Amino acid sequence: GDSVTQMEGPVTLSEEAFLTINCTYTATGYPSLFWYVQYPGEGLQLLLKATKADDKGSNKGFEATYRKETTSFHLEKGSVQVSDSAVYFCALRDSGAGSYQLTFGKGTKLSVIP
Amino acid sequence: NAGVTQTPKFRVLKTGQSMTLLCAQDMNHEYMYWYRQDPGMGLRLIHYSVGEGTTAKGEVPDGYNVSRLKKQNFLLGLESAAPSQTSVYFCASEGTTARAKNIQYFGAGTRLSVL
C-alpha cells in the first residue's frame, strides 16, 4: 500500500535559520504530492503541491521538488520566521480512477524561536 | 466566507453513548471526508463521500457511520462510543473543477473525549 515517511520532530530553529523537513514515499501508481500545514488550534491547510516528476511547488517562501528517482518531496525554506511555527504534514494521493484518499505522514512539529 | 464548519468543537462522552458530528461546507464541493488525528499517527481517513447520497469506507471505518443527505453536509455518527475513539476529528471538502481538484479544505476540528 501507499505510505509516507517524514522526519519526526520536534524541530526547533532560530529565526532566519534554514529549514529542511524530509519526506519520502512509496506508492503503487504515479502520485500527486502535497505539504499541508496545521497552525495551533486550526485545521490543516494546503501549503504547496506537485503533480508530476521534477515539478516544484512553492508558497510563502516554502519549496518542495517532486523527485521520482529518489521518491522524495523534501520541504525547504531559506529563512524561517516565528510565524512558521506549526505542524507540517507530507501527503500523497495515488493516481488512477477512484483514488480519493490522501495518505499522510505523521507530521513534523516546527518551533521557531526569536 | 465560512468554508468548512464543524460542530461541536468539543465534546465529552461516556462509554456507550452516541453522538453525531456535523460538517457543513459552503463551497459547493462534491467530495467530503472525515479524518481522525491521533498523536504520532498523522491523519487517517474514516469515511468519505464523492457526492450527495453516496458514502464509502476509508482506512479506519469501524465504529463509525456517515450520511450525506445534502450536498453541503456530511455527518459522522458514533453509535456506541468507546475510549479508543477519543481523538480530534477533522472534516474536509474538495471540489472537482480543474482549479479546485486536489485541494482539500479542512474544518477547525472537533475534540472528542470518551471516558
Query: B59, B102, B103: best mutation site toward chain A, by most A Cβ within 10 Å?
Result: B102
Assign B111 a pLDDT band (cuts: 50, 70, 90).
Answer: very high
Mean pLDDT in residue range B32-56: 93
Q: Which residue has the higher pLDDT, A102 or B47?
A: B47
pLDDT tens column, B63-84: 999 999 999 999 999 999 999 9
- B106·A45 Cβ contact <8 A: yes
A1 CB within 8 Å of a chain B CB: no
**Single-letter amino acid, residue A59:** N
Chain B residues touching residue A105 (CB < 8 angstroms): 42
DSSP codes of every residue in chain B: ---EEEE-SEEEE-TT--EEEEEEESS--SEEEEEEEETTTEEEEEEEEEETTEEEE-SS-TT-EEE-SSTTEEEEEESS--GGG-EEEEEEEE--STTTTT--EE---EEEEE-
Question: Is the CB of A41 less than 8 angstroms away from the CB of B108?
Answer: yes
What is the C-alpha separation between A32 and B74, in angstroms, rounded? 25
Residue B35 has pLDDT above 70, yes or no: yes
Cβ atoms of A43 and A30 within 8 Å: the answer is no
User: Which segment of A96-105, B14-23, B31-40 scores lowest on mean pLDDT?
Assistant: A96-105
- Three-state SS string across chain A, please? CCEEEECCCCEEEECCCCEEECEEEECCCCCEEEEEEECCCCCEEEEEEECCCCCEEEECCEEEECECCCCECCEEECCCCHHHCEEEEEEEECCCCCCCCCEECCCEEEEEEC
pLDDT tens, chain A, 114 aa long: 889 999 888 999 999 999 999 999 999 888 999 999 999 888 999 999 999 999 999 999 999 999 999 999 999 999 999 999 999 999 999 877 667 888 999 999 999 999
The CA–CA distances, whole Å, from B25 to A2, B46, B71, B72, B93 equal: 29, 18, 9, 5, 7
How far apart are the C-alpha atoms of B17 and B89, rounded to whole Å? Answer: 17
CA A100 to chain centre: 19
Task: Report the residue of B9, B32, B106, B110 to disrupt the A interface, i.e. the one with the largest count of A CBs within 10 Å.
Answer: B106
